[in-house]
Structure 1
Amino acid sequence: MDNLIMQQQALTRYLRDPDHQAPPADMNAARVNVYRDLVFNNVSQLLSGTFPVLIRIIGEQRWGLLVRGFLRDWRAQTPKFGEIAETFLDFLATQPQVMREGEWPAFLLELAHYEWVEMVLQQSDAQALPATDPALLLERPLQISALAWPLAYAWPVHELDPNNQPVTPPAQPTLLLVRRAADWSVKFSGLSPLAWRLLQRITEFASLTGREQLKGLAQEAGQSAGNSFMDNGLVLLRQMHEDQVIGLAP
């Protein structure tokens, strides 16, 4: 093998895992370590903007362990900086070796996902839904904006911080709606189980009208689809329409 290629491979192995790999024998150690620190610090800084709450909870030392494990054990397939955070989530989801040592918060992956969602929506190229007539919400099939994500977590991810780290999840899941508003700000709000299921149904049963969605929701919930339920459901649909969460399907 060409000596240059061997040096490049040795350098790459060292930059990924300086604790267990030796630097190239023919390279100046001080210069190699400059590259080592640059690679680590650049990746750490690139990721840290997406996961600030996670870092505050686990601390800089353990954050460094995660970044080092990511560099050592994971092979990112994207050249886009904006997609590295998603690749880091994939790494965390594998329960990597670094997380099998010591105590790590059980909510770590869900918190990381929750923080990542905000970044994704801020950077999304998706377009807002076109304006549609709210008077037709019951009569026409509906669609959910690509800029509105209904999410379900076992942990209260929106409440976690260094002073609030539960060791067991609550009995009920945390249901959230994350959406990007017209001013590009990302807004978070809680969802009732019925509201969350309604958004699920709009995706699952795309051909149903708003009225049919509400009737199906009532049946699933074991409730009567009487005037009270339908009126409350229409209020919810109108609010979601006003917030550009839903619109009429084309």
Structure 2
Amino acid sequence: MSRPEMLALHNIEPEFFGYQRKFVDYLRDPVETEALAAILPARISVYAKLMYNKIEGSLDACFPVCRELLESDRWQQLVKLFIKEHCCESPLYRDIPDEFINYLLNETPDMALPAFFSELAHFEWMELVLETAQNNPIAAKPAASDLLATIPVLNPVMHLLHYHYPVQTIMPSDENWTYWKEWETVNYKEESAHLIGLRDEQYGVHFIETNPATLRLIELLQDNFRTGEQAATQLALELRHSDHVQFLTFCRDILNNLKQQQIIVGTVHE
């Protein structure tokens, strides 16, 4: 057999692969591929419905506010687009919300959505991330009384979050819920939100509103090699604050608050 003949034979797609593709195409979009049902197993429509219900159930549980915001018809449309358009990298049921966030942030669903929708979904998803994060042991002593003189150790289950909209207030119980529900007619102005998401030692998840300076101070401590004073000094340089003594007092108060909020969970000495 000549080389061209071998290559041609190699490029022939096995019939089973074509069947698999039709099977998956139907599961992704049973409406547009309805004709395929005739060449697929008799109960394929039942299987497609079960798969949809399983995925929608996972997303309903993780994104209840997003679902309430869009209401049932639009939410179901978005779930169907996700199933149709997104190629999941993980086969695990637990990872469906992760894949949905990847879809919202990196692809463009072919439907109208609020400008703040992907950030709201990310905020809801962060609760799941914090709840399920591995609890790695901390090699540190209990937090010292002088956090400037020691190296603060941060909560290992923590995320620093920056949003363009106040997603932490967008919920049915908030007095402005009706305002956010009118997303089709309202031109929302961006309003930055700076949050710290963490899990405490009782496994409770919390989101704490803060400010850019505090977030930057925490970032400077994340490498676990700066004392509180060294981090504060660096922050003063970045903010061009000339009164060093006053700024250290300011940062001492911040560090003590972070300790009370279980953001700082221990210290080590140089």
Normalization by structure 1: what TM-score? 0.87
Find 2:21's aligned residue among 9, 29, 32.
9
Q: Percent identity?
A: 26
Alignment match, 1:187? 206
Q: Find the partner of 2:188 among 141, 164, 168.
A: 168
Mapping 1:84-163, distance limit 5 Å: 84-99=96-111, 103-127=112-136, 129=138, 130-161=140-171, 162-163=177-178
Distance 1:164 1:180 in 2: 31
Letter in 2 for 1:159: T
Higher mean alpha-carbon deviation, 223-232 vs 187-196, is at 223-232
- The answer as to whether partners of 2:159 and 2:197 remain within 8 angstroms in 1 is yes
- Once residues 64 and 268 of structure 2 are traced to their aligned partners in structure 1, the CA distance between those partners, rounded to angstroms, is 37
1:217 counterpart = 2:235: yes
Q: Which residue of 2 aligns with 1:201?
A: 220
2:255 pairs with one of 237, 241, 247: 237
Deviation of 1:107 (Å):
0.4
Task: Look up the match of 2:93.
Answer: 81
CA RMSD of aligned residues (A): 2.3
Whichever residue aligns with residue 228 of structure 1, its letter is Q
Judging changes above 3 Å, is the alpha-carbon distance between structure 1 residues 159 and 16 closer, same or farther for their aligned structure 2 residues?
same
1:35 corresponds in structure 2 to 47
SS of the residue corresponding to residue 46 of structure 2 reads helix
Closer/same/farther in 2, CA of residues 249 and 111 from structure 1, 3 Å limit: farther
Query: Distance between the aligned counterparts of 1:249 and 1:169, measured in 2?
Result: 44
C-alpha separation in 2, matches of 1:225 and 1:49? 50
Which letter does structure 1 place at the counterpart of 2:23? L
- State whether residues 154 and 169 of structure 1, in contact with CA within 8 Å, keep that contact through their aligned partners in structure 2: no
Uncovered stretches (5+) of structure 1, i.e. residues with no partner: none
Partner Cα separation in structure 1 for residue 200 and residue 67 of structure 2: 27
* Between 233-242 and 208-217, the greater mean CA deviation after superposition: 233-242
Deviation of residue 198 (structure 1)?
0.9
- Secondary structure of the residue aligned to 2:36 is coil
Tell me which moved more, 193-202 or 219-228: 219-228
Aligned 8 A contact 1:7 1:24 in 2:
no
